[in-house]
Amino acid sequence: MTRKRTYSSKDVDMLLTSKSIVETFKLSLSELSSARTQWTKEYANKLSKKIDNAIDKYLGIDKDKELRTATATILSIQQPAIRDLSFLKKQLDFDFASDRSKLKEMIKDLGFERNLRRAQNSDQEALLDLLYTFEDNLSNSLKTEIVDKGTSVKLIDRILSYAEQIKQSNAIKTTNRNVSKKVTKEAEATLDEIYKEVIAICKIASAFFYHDSLKKEQFSFNKVFHNVNASKKTKETV
């Protein structure tokens, strides 16, 4: 009798999504531990290790470790990048307020007009496009002009570094996305256990963060799944 799966996605995508959620879970333990006594650092680390072991044992190749690391890198960049881009946008609005045509052109050319609001709403594809556009269109002269107005060069360089890190991660993800291996019944049982456990975390954490839409979205399995896969649609740059 064929065993019915509790999820419909590819095993590697389910595990990468679960891994990302568990990493967020670990960062939120100071708040979430008050909701359930068993939600401790030890529990989170054990679950994270269980996912890593499942990837290594059942998907069975070293490329999956690179893929897992690449995805974690992209997701770890997401929030600080949005914070820095939003902060820079506010400074540009203030520093170039007396030259509205210049400001409008700059906001459009650097990708803010099209992508910032979507990125702030947890659209990873929009964030990647914004970072790439920013890097491509920030000339040395424009960078100097922005810095001369008062913006820290360290802030700009940090934003540029996000784009570089994501380029490297996207190269790994694109190269290794279709890697997989036939799994056994034992593997299916373990993967189902992981999925059910992560889904339980998502449901409880989402309820806990009901009034915090950003954190709530970080525990939406479907939303994180979309973000994990979004970079496949984004242009590759070398």
Yes or no: say if 103 and 96 are a contact pair by the CB < 8 Å rule: yes
Choose the most confident range, by mean pLDDT, from 2-11, 68-77, 173-182. Answer: 2-11
Chain segment 151-183, per-residue pLDDT in tens: 999 999 999 988 877 765 554 444 444 444 555
The residue with greater pLDDT, 65 or 219, is 219
- 141 pLDDT higher than 60: yes
> Residue 60: what residue type?
G
How far, in Å, CA of 125 to CA of 118, rounded?
9
Q: What's the mean pLDDT when you consider all of the chain? A: 82
Domain ranges of the chain: 11-233
Asked if the model's pLDDT at residue 2 lies above 50, the reply is no
Please classify residue 44 by burial: count the beta carbons closer than 10 Å to its beta carbon, then call 0-12 exposed, 13-18 middle and 19+ buried: buried
Q: Is the pLDDT of residue 80 over 90?
A: no
Residue 127 has pLDDT above 50, yes or no: yes
pLDDT of residue 119: 87
- The model's pLDDT over 38-61, given as tens digits with 9 standing for 90+, comes to 999 999 999 999 998 888 777 654
pLDDT digits (tens, 9 = 90+) for 210-227: 988 878 888 999 988 887
pTM: 0.54
So what's the pLDDT on residue 100? 94
Neighbours of 86 (CB within 10 A): 14
